[in-house]
Structure 1
Amino acid sequence: MRGFAHHLFHWRLVVTLLLATCAALPARAQLTVEITGAGGQRIPIAIPYLAGEELLPTPISQIVGQDLAKSGIFQLVDVGLLRLPEDQIPDYANLAARGADAVLAGSATVLGAGQYEVRVRVFDTRRQADLGGILYRFTPSQTRATAHRIADFVYEKLTGIPGYFASRLAYVVKQGNRYELRISEADGSNSVPALISQEPIISPTWSPDGTKVAYVSFEAKKPIVYVHELATGQRRVVANFKGSNSAPAFSPDGQSIALALTRDGISQIYLVPVMGGTPVRLSRSHAIDTEPVFSPDGRHIYFTSDRGGSPQIYRMPASGGAAERITFEGEYNVSPDVSSDGKLLTFVTRNQGRYQVALLDLQTRQQLILSDSTRDESPSFAPNGRMIVYASEFGGRGSLFAVSTDGKVRLRLSAEGADVREPAWGPLPR
C-alpha cells in the first residue's frame, strides 16, 4: 500500500492513521497554501494586468502572480494599475527602479464563439532583453488552466526549469465516517472528489498521461486495486486476487501496473496489464517486497523490501530479476519515488526516531534530510523534479507539505478541520 510509510512493517501505526477521527470537511473546502520557507534569493517579478484582461472570465494575471508567489522562489513587485501589451517595449528603467528583475507583458482578445486568446511575453528588465513569448487560445472553462500554463512558461524562462503549476494533485481526505479521493490543481484550488467511500482509500497514483488514477479501496472489506478514468468517473478492478492487492504504480508507457500482491503468500512485486489480467511475478524473495515505482525510462523498478533484515529501497530490472540495494544510511527507508529525470530518489527515512522525507542523489550517493517533522509519509515528486509533496501531521491532523529538493522552499497545504493524507503529484498535461 504505497503511500503509508510504515504499512506492513508497523501495521498498528497504519491502522491508527487510517481510523483517526477528524471533523467533517465542508463540501467546497479547498486546500490553502502557506509559504513556511522561501528561497534565499527570490526573483523579483512584475505581473501587470494584461491589456484587455477585463474581457476574460477570470483575471489571468492574478492567477499567474499567485502561482509564482506560492512557488517560494518569486517575489511579486507592485506596479499598480500598469497595463503592458506584449508588443510594447517595457520602460526598463522604471521597472528596474521599482525592483523588478523581470516583467510579464500580455494582452487578451475575444475571438467570439466562446473563444479567447492571450499573448504574453517575458522581459528581463536588468539586461533589457526579450526572453520570448507564447500564445494560448482557450474557452472560459480553460481559463485557470491557461493561467497555470502561462505561469509555467514564466517559470521556465526565468529559471531554465519547466514549471509545475499546470499539474494536479490527488490526495485522500478523511471526513467524519467517510473517505474522499480528491483531485485539485497544483495550488490546491478547485478540489473535487473523484470517489467517496465509507471505507479507506489509499495509495493513489497517476497514469503518465494524467487521465487516470489507480488506487487501493477497501470498499469490499479487503484491499483491491482500481483504475479510475477522471473525465468519465468510470473505473475498473485491475487487481482483486487472493490476499492483499496494494501499492499500484503505472509503467511509463501507461500499459501496465506494478503492484504488491500476497496471492502466493508473502508480499511480492507483480506486473498486471492496465486493463486487468493475469499478473506476472517480478520479485522472488522470502521477505516483504512492496511499494514499487518505475524509473522514468521504464528500465527499472524501485521498491521497498526487508530482505536484508530492515526495510530498505532496492532496484531490479522492470522485467524482474536480481535486485540491488539502493539505500544504506539508516535502518529504515521506505516509500520511494523517482524524479522525472531519474537522478533523484525521495523516500521516508527513520532519523533518530523521527520519520522524515529524505533525498538521495543516485549519481553522487549524497543523501539529504528535507523535512523537520516527525511522522512524514508518501513523498511524491512534482513533474519538474524540483518539489516534493508529502503528508505529515500539523495541529494533530494530517496535512500536506511541499519542499524543494534543496530544502530551502517549504509550503503547507491544508484544509481547515480536515485530515489530509496520501498525496500524489500528477504529470503536466500533454
Structure 2
Amino acid sequence: MLPVAARAQFRVEISGVGASQVPIAVLKLRDEERAPLPISAIVRADLERSGLFKMVDGGAAAFDETARPVFADWRGKGSDALAAGSITRLADGRFDVRYRLWDVVKGTELAAQAVAVPKEDLRLAAHRIADEIYQKLTGDRGVFSTRIAYVSKTAGRYTLWIADADGEAAQVAVSGPEPIISPAWSPDGRSLAYVSFEARKAMVYVQEVASGKRRVVAGYKGSNSAPAWSPDGTQLVVTLTRDGLSQLYSLSRTGDNLQRLTTSNAIDTEATFSPDGKWVYFVSDRGGSPQIYRLPARGGNAERVTFSGGYNISPALSPDGRSMAYVTRLNGNTFRLALMDFGSGNVTTLTDSSDDESPCFAPNGRLIMYASRAGGRDVLMTTTLDGSIKARLNAPQADVREPVWGPFGR
C-alpha cells in the first residue's frame, strides 16, 4: 500500500475571469465545525478552480439539506444555484455527509446525495459532491475526484507523488536520489509508468498504484524513456536508443513483444496516442528542428502536424481528439503552452509565461495542467482552454514538475 498521506499540501492561487460563470452559493454544512475537514470549503475551491463558477456569499444563512430555501431571497443575492447540507459523526466512527442542490432560478431541486464514509475518505466525499454539482450545472462530468501525479526535487531527492486533483492528500509512490521523469497513468488508473535512473541509466518501470509492486518493462542497452499508454491499456510506446538514435518502439504492458515503429535518421521521442488508438503523435527533428508528427499506431509513414513556429514539443491530445496542447518556443528561450484545434488548424497561445512544459488534459477535456516557473520556483498550473482563468498550485516542495492527470475513477 502507499504510505500514509504526507504533509505535502498545496496552496491554490486563481487568476483571471471567465466570460460566463454560474453564480452559486455553497453554504457551510450543519455541524461542519465538528468535522475533521471543512467540506464546504473544499467544494467551493473545486468549483472556483474550474473557472466556470462564481461564488456567492451566503452570509449568515444556516440551514441543511432538509430545509426549503426561500428562492426569491437567493435570487436577490444574485445566485443561480444553492447547495447546503450536513455532516454527522456516526457511532461506528464514520461520517454521514449529506447535501442538496437547488436551481434558484427555477425554484427546483437538482440533486441530493447522502454517503457514510470513514474519516480518511472525507476529502474524496467533498470532491464527489463538487463533481455532481459541476455535472448538474454544466452538463459535463466533473474531475475533482480524480488524481494527478507529479515529480518533485528537494535536497537532491526525487519523489513521484500521487495526489488529489487539487494537489491535496499527496502520497509518495516512489522516491530516491536519482532522477524520476515522465510519469504516465494507465487508462484504468491502476498503474503508473515512469522513467527512473536508479540503476544509473534510464529504465521504464510500471508500478501498481495500490500495492506499490513494480517491474522494469524497458531496460535495454542505451536509454529507455518517454512511456505512453495505448487507450486500451495493453501496450506502451517508448523511446529507445538500443539501435542508435532515439526511436519509437511499442511493447506490451509487461514488456514483451517489442516492435520498432520509426526508422529515421533523426531523434523521435515524446509519443502519445490519439484517444481512438489509431495514431501515435510524437516529436521529431527529422525536418531540422523539433516538430510534432503522427504515424499509424501499428507503424507506417509519418506526417507532420505542426507548422506554426520553429520549435514545438510535448504533444497532449484532448480526450475528444479534437485538439492538441503542446509547448512552443518563442523568441529564443521563451516556452509557452499552445493549443491547436484540429478542425480549423488554428493555434492559440494560452500563456504569457516563459518556461512552460509537460501539458496534460483533465479527463473531461475542460482544463489543461502544465508545469511552469513562477516566483523563482517550479510550479504546477491549470488553465481553461481559452487561457482566461489559471490556477497555480503552490507545493511545499522546492521544485515540482512533470504533472500528469489521471483518468476518471479511482
**TM-score, with normalisation over the residues of structure 1?**
0.88
Kindly provide the CA deviation profile for residues 31-82 of structure 1, in whole angstroms up to 9, marking residues without a partner as x. 2211122323432211113345566543422211121123333222222343
2:75 corresponds, among 96, 107, 111, to 96
Letter in 1 for 2:369: V
Deviation at 1:318, TM superposition (A): 1.4
Paired residue for 1:170, among 103, 126, 149?
149
Residue 281 (1) aligns with residue 260 (2): yes
Superposed, 1:115-194 pairs within 5 Å as: 115-194=94-173
2:372 is aligned, of 365, 380, 392, to 392
Amino acid at match of 2:403: P
Q: 1:405: how far off?
A: 0.6
Pick the aligned partner of 1:424 from 396, 404, 407.
404
Which residue is equivalent to 1:368? 348
Task: Report deviation, 1:367.
Answer: 0.8
Greater Cα offset, 322-331 or 340-349: 322-331
Question: Cα distance, 1:114 vs. partner?
Answer: 4.5
SS at 1:215 equivalent: strand
Secondary structure of 1:226's match? strand
- In the alignment, the residues of structure 2 paired with residue 28 and residue 118 of structure 1 have an alpha-carbon distance, to the nearest angstrom, of 25
1:401 is aligned, of 378, 381, 388, to 381
Corresponding residue of 1:3: none
Deviation of 1:165 after TM superposition, in Å, equals: 1.0
Q: Hey, what's the Cα distance between the residues in 1 that align with 2:278 and 2:185?
A: 19
When residues 318 and 133 of structure 1 are mapped into structure 2, their CA distance, relative to the original with a 3 A threshold, is: farther
Of stretches 39-48 and 288-297 in structure 1, the one that deviates more from structure 2 is 39-48
Partner residue of 2:3? none
Alpha-carbon shift at residue 404 of structure 1 (Å)? 0.8
1:48–1:81 contact (8 Å) kept in structure 2? no
- For the residues of structure 2 that align with 1:208 and 1:154, how far apart are their CA atoms? 25
How many Å separate the matches in 1 of 2:300 and 2:90? Answer: 57
Pairwise CA distance, 1:423: 1.0
Q: State which of 295, 320, 332 in structure 1 corresponds to 2:299.
A: 320
Q: How many residues align?
A: 404
Match of 1:65, SS? helix
SS at 1:94 equivalent: helix
Which 10-residue stretch deviates more, 242-251 or 417-426?
A: 417-426
Bigger mean CA deviation after superposition, 99-108 or 174-183? 99-108
Shift of 1:166: 0.9
Match of 1:352 among 322, 331, 349: 331
**2: CA distance, partners of 1:330 / 1:140:** 51
Q: Distance in 1 between matches of 2:396 and 2:65?
A: 40
Please point out which of 179, 183, 197 is paired with 1:204: 183
Q: In the alignment, is the contact (CA less than 8 A) between 2:101 and 2:110 conserved in 1? A: yes
Shift of 1:122: 2.1
Which runs of 5 or more structure 1 residues have no equivalent in the other structure?
1-26
**Percent pairwise identity:** 52
Q: Shift of the alpha carbon at 1:117?
A: 4.1
Residue type of the alignment partner of 1:355: F
Other-structure match for 1:377: 357
Gaps of 5+ in 2: 1-5
Deviations 1:283-310 (A, max 9, x none): 2222211111111122211111122222
| Superposed CA offset, 1:235-272 (max 9, x none) | 11111001110000111111211111111111111111
